Chains A and B, each alone.
Chain A
């Protein structure tokens, strides 16, 4: 019971990372595709403006998932990290390049620096979710056996299911970001930008759907256990994902950007939950179940209590963060940043 609760909490964290962190990654992908420095300016401004205050908080979900995995399911953590250290190292380097470059770009003034840091940020926004997706594919297709580095360090993540996971991660991130950004642009009264991102949201949504559809054949051939889970126990969630995805596209088409957000988020979240439900109770397919991997009851209880108490602090804080920046800013008063800088310099 405790182990299942811990797993559910971890999965909620993973969902939050996929939705919030995923949208940040996707914003980076659109930054990459925005075009030359002049043509892409409005888009990059919107992206920078939208994710600037929140990306660091969004990034913490990943740490949350990692820490909960190692606390509650240490042997699984050790097996996954040691076998998949290549894609995970590459994802980690991507995380470094992305976060640092995003902060550096904001602090630089010259065009070549902004280009360099911007390229770094955008490119790592593309590769990081890809590698994280290959990791998900490796675990889902049962290529991570229990034990230290017991799996093949190459083929565990270079295989059809991992490739599917990587591509699907990138396209869904891009889709989420486009949906979030078109609502942000619409709120700021940028109609052209809003409809441009709405178009991108539809395209990336359709691509995601196509990839997921093609994925059925891949999973059937490459990961039969997961395929069985998805077509049986997890089938309602798969259907929910499809319905939510279509609903989101319809809402985008009718310019209902704010409503499209929860629909798209539900479509992506349902895929993750379908994976979890399809695989349960195996944590390492063909090897370790949730209950075999679970930590001592005292550890699980302590972590859950701490997280529950932490949530009492975190939820209002997160609400304050998102609420502060989802409102339009008040007109600049005296003592605002640029004016006080100018007066003292």
Chain B
């Protein structure tokens, strides 16, 4: 497909002449920033409903008020996060056109289908979220629990569809370029491209991990501060267990995703692993700095990469020497992002194993994890695990997106050809940064207030409306 890169297309070519470096950088920064922001909220939007339903289900089954209260509290946080997730997601669909009209004008129709499907899923999510949050007192408990299920299903489906569109940018399929024009579009082939299965599964599991470990971290801090009541214990155990269950699967899927790269995007894998020279017996390098066409100062595991990719030291791994120099991604950044992601993944796996081990020990000597020796260390690490999972998420996203550079559509359209040639994108970047800074401060503040347990309901039920002030 690489030869298609040379195909002329009039509109983009005309536009590129007008693009300044500053505007291109501003557009990239704005898109990167708003995506990095949205991705965290979106992950919570996928994972938090599942946690809330789990708590509510326990609450209904056991009649335990701690679980019921947890469900209410998480539902409130869910309401706030869904609102900011909805608006930051809408901004992204604007930015697709405002910043990258070159991409959308040419390929908008090719990737339209997954977005249309995502729109439907998001609609279902918004509808049932409205019902779930506001009809708590209007429906019998079990039926209320049922109205939450579509939120979880639609959330996972949204993530699947959106990531399918991103996967297409890595593995463009389902169209023919003829004289610079897109023809013979097969939208289903475009959506279900080879990158879709590993990328979507990896992302959905990541969403559950981030939501679980981040929620658990909040309660780990409370437990460390000595609030060891049933409410805080349940608030820790429910999400942490879910996270610990998901993590081992995530490592398997991550390995699958890496081997997908070896076959379909070898240049990206070469950047991830800092492989400059094609060959066999390639070591696995941890850390290091790319300089003079080699990865220096890293920790090398002999034959490691060849073994991981093909289960044999003689497996040939393609290096960056097979890629034209002007098409190299930033190696050091992508490589470090990858190492950070994998490192944190292993750390979270170890934490999950610790939970399992102490649960087994506790069963034998009838003690609870939190009464055992080392529980403070465990909780401290669990409190770190929440923010760490977010760092892993952002790093993984950097690997995917920076590893694709300089292409916006792998091998076909460069980022430079996609950007809006209109002047003044830098101003837009500053505006967006200011608004997002305000939104970040407000979101964190409001979530902290919710965690402290204010008496004001986020979703006012009928009888509450009279009792709380509205300006």
| Interface residues of A, Cβ cutoff 8 Å to B | 37, 40-41, 44-45, 48-49, 52-54, 56-57, 59-60, 62-64, 66-68, 70-72, 74-75, 77-83, 85-86, 88-89, 91-93, 95-109, 111, 114-115, 117-118, 147-149, 153, 295-296, 298-299, 302-303, 306-307, 310, 313-314, 317-318, 320-321, 324-325, 329-330, 332-333, 335-338, 340-345
Contacts and interface: CB of A to CB of B under 8 A. Distances in A.
B301 interface: no
B428 A317 contact: no
14 contacts: A49-B465, A56-B82, A60-B122, A71-B108, A85-B428, A104-B442, A106-B79, A106-B458, A147-B14, A295-B108, A303-B116, A324-B134, A338-B457, A344-B69
B65 to A, nearest CB: 5
Contacts of B231: 344
A67 B126 contact: no
Query: Does more than half of chain B's interface fall in helix, strand or loop, or is it mixed?
Result: helix
B88 interface: yes
B98 A70 contact: no
Nearest to B183: A296
B185 A324 contact: no
B471 A115 contact: yes
A180 B217 CA distance: 44
Given A149-B15, A340-B72, A344-B65, A298 B467 contact: no
Contacts, number: 332
Interface string B97-108: 110011011111
Nearest to A300: B109
Contacts of B465: 45, 49
B108 A74 contact: yes
Interface residues of B, number: 104
Interface of B: 11-12, 14-15, 18, 65-66, 68-69, 72, 76, 79-80, 82-84, 86-91, 93-98, 101-102, 104-110, 112-113, 115-120, 122-124, 126-131, 133-138, 141, 150, 182-188, 231, 420-424, 428, 431-432, 435-436, 439, 442-443, 446, 449-450, 453-465, 467-471
Contacts of A85: 98, 420, 422, 428
A64 B87 CA distance: 14
A63 B158 CA distance: 13
B420 to A, nearest CB: 5
Given A45-B465, A57-B126, A153 B424 contact: yes
Query: Does more than half of chain A's interface fall in helix, strand or loop, or is it mixed?
Result: helix
A295 B190 CA distance: 14
A329 B462 contact: yes
B326 to A, nearest CB: 23
